[in-house]
Chain A
Amino acid sequence: SQTIHQWPATLVQPVGSPLSLECTVEGTSNPNLYWYRQAAGRGLQLLFYSVGIGQISSEVPQNLSASRPQDRQFILSSKKLLLSDSGFYLCAWSDLAGYNEQFFGPGTRLTVL
Chain B
Amino acid sequence: GQNIDQPTEMTATEGAIVQINCTYQTSGFNGLFWYQQHAGEAPTFLSYNVLDGLEEKGRFSSFLSRSKGYSYLLLKELQMKDSASYLCAVMDSNYQLIWGAGTKLIIKP
Contact B45 A43 (CB under 8 A): no
- CB-defined contacts of B44 to chain A, threshold 8 Å: 104
Q: Is the CB of B30 within 8 A of A101?
A: no
Question: In the bound complex, what is the Cα–Cα distance between A102 and B34 (angstroms)?
Answer: 11
Interface size class, chain B: 20 to 34
Whose C-beta in chain A lies nearest to the C-beta of B34?
A101
Cβ A99 vs Cβ B87 within 8 A? no
Interface secondary structure of A, over-half rule: loop
The answer, yes or no, to whether A52 is at the interface (CB within 8 Å) is no
Given that A90-B42, A99-B30, A106-B42 are known contacts, is A44 also in contact with B99, CB under 8 Å in the complex? yes
User: Which residues of A are interface residues toward B (Cβ below 8 A)?
Assistant: 41-46, 49, 59, 90, 98-107, 109
B→A interface (CB under 8 Å): 4, 30-31, 33, 40-45, 48, 87, 89, 91, 95-97, 99-102
